């Protein structure tokens, strides 16, 4: 009797389904996914002060304690350890600026003002630099186009653009010190400089072609006090450094530079950056964005305050960060493997950086 060897399981297995891509949904949305996102997340979406306040306050407190330790300690090892802890904690505290842009203005009474006083102004990144700008990035007809302040087709650019994109963030703390400590006060008496500063250096944007429009309505008052407060703080820092030495300020700026670089790395992998300027459907925007869901823990560090679910955030922009994990679990469980929803899930930062870098290698330096 002839014995037949069993087929190799690897050969008999059906090929894995291809991931859904942005290109497939440029003209029409996946309405089933959008409907599921609406229906399955009922009961979620209320910003909880008992989560927001402790998270923000502890992050800021640990960050400032870390800066103080790094400045005062005589041990290089302690300085480095404290600086790393401070950078990570303040990075998390800063990321609440993203939440402020999306939560309803009446959802957390006093939180926006407290964040600006405790984090935004001391770190020279008041919330007006994101409010009124980031929402453009979520508009269906403007996302991924030349009008989007937060989009560059990085995957389609030259290879040298990626390291430059990350390294330029190292200079951000110094640029903010100059913007608020010099350009703003001089602009009060030189209107053309004031206009130039507002248009070019008043938003956390990465698109060099973006020009910010003048503030309007109630927003004008918020801009004024935040900008004046940041300017007074920047001038105080520079005067204190000139009188008592630059080492403490230099230490703090180095820590903030590390936080800025980490944020830029997160930004680098927040999208696939493959759009060439066309308007996209909501589904296409979702698939051009990135989720890095559990089980990995590292994303909680480099993409804090819900930003590891960045694609889901583009699907549901007003969902508070603390509800995104549950929303993701519900959608992943219901829609399953091979769904459009799964197309936005990626394994981690290194894989995403490699994908974008590989794409740029086809471009001439």
Q: Where are the domains of the chain?
A: 21-365
Task: State if pTM tops 0.95.
Answer: no
HSE toward the beta carbon, residue 218, CA cutoff 13 A: 2
Residue closest to 99 by CA, chosen among 311, 307, 287: 307
What is residue 1's predicted lDDT score, i.e. its pLDDT? 35
Chain centre distance of CA 224:
24
What is residue 131's predicted lDDT score, i.e. its pLDDT? 92
The DSSP string of 154-203 is GGGS-TTHHHHHHHGGGGHHHHHHHIIIIIHHHHTT-HHHHHHHHHHHSS
What is the CB neighbour count within 10 angstroms for residue 221? 10
3-state secondary structure of 309: strand
Runs of H (alpha helix) within the chain: 9-12, 31-40, 49-72, 76-94, 96-102, 111-115, 134-137, 161-167, 172-178, 184-187, 191-201, 219-244, 247-268, 282-287, 299-302, 310-315, 324-335, 349-360
What is residue 264's predicted lDDT score, i.e. its pLDDT? 96
What is residue 92's predicted lDDT score, i.e. its pLDDT? 98
What is the CB neighbour count within 10 angstroms for residue 272? 22
List residues bridging with 345 in a β-sheet.
291
3-state secondary structure of 150: coil
Average pLDDT for runs of 10 along the chain of length 365: 40 57 85 93 94 98 98 96 98 97 89 97 96 90 91 90 92 96 97 96 94 93 96 97 95 97 95 89 93 92 96 94 96 91 93 90 62
CA distance 244 to 129: 31
294 DSSP 8-state letter: T
Query: Cβ distance 219 to 211 under 8 Å?
Result: no
Residue closest to 152 by CA, chosen among 288, 276, 284, 22: 276
Give just the sign of the alpha carbon dihedral 289, 88, 90, 194: negative
What is residue 3's predicted lDDT score, i.e. its pLDDT? 38
The DSSP string of 56-82 is HHHHHHHHHHHHHHHHH-S-HHHHHHH
């Amino acid at each position: 009797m002839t014995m037949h060897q069993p087929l190799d399981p690897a050969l008999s297995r059906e090929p894995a389904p291809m991931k859904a891509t942005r290109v497939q949904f440029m003209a029409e949305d996946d309405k089933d996914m959008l409907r599921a996102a609406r229906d399955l997340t009922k009961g979620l979406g209320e910003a909880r002060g008992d989560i927001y306040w402790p998270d923000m306050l502890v992050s800021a407190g640990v960050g400032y304690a870390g800066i103080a330790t790094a400045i005062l300690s005589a041990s290089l090892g302690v300085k480095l350890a404290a600086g790393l802890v401070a950078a990570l904690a303040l990075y998390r505290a800063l990321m609440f600026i993203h939440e402020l842009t999306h939560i309803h203005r009446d959802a957390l009474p006093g939180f926006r003002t407290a964040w600006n006083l405790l984090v935004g102004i001391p770190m020279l990144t008041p919330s007006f630099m994101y409010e009124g700008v980031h929402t453009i990035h979520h508009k269906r007809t403007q996302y991924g186009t030349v009008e989007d302040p937060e989009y560059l087709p990085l995957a389609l650019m030259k290879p040298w653009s990626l390291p430059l994109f990350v390294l330029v963030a190292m200079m951000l703390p110094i640029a903010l010190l100059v913007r608020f400590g010099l350009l703003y006060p001089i602009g009060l008496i030189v209107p053309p400089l004031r206009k130039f500063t507002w248009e070019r250096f008043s938003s956390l944007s990465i698109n060099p072609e973006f020009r910010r429009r003048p503030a309007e309505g109630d927003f004008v008052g918020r801009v004024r006090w935040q900008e004046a407060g940041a300017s007074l703080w920047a001038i105080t820092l520079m005067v204190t450094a000139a009188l008592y030495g630059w080492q403490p300020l230099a230490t703090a700026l180095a820590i903030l530079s590390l936080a800025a670089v980490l944020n830029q790395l997160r930004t680098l992998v927040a999208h696939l950056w493959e759009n060439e300027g066309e308007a996209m459907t909501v589904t296409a925007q979702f698939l051009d964005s990135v989720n890095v869901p559990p089980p990995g823990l590292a994303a909680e560090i480099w993409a804090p305050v819900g930003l590891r679910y960045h694609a889901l955030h583009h699907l549901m922009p007003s969902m508070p960060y603390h509800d995104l994990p549950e929303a993701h679990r519900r959608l992943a469980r219901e829609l399953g493997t091979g769904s459009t929803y799964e197309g936005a899930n990626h394994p981690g930062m290194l894989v995403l950086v490699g994908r974008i870098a590989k794409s740029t290698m086809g471009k001439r330096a």
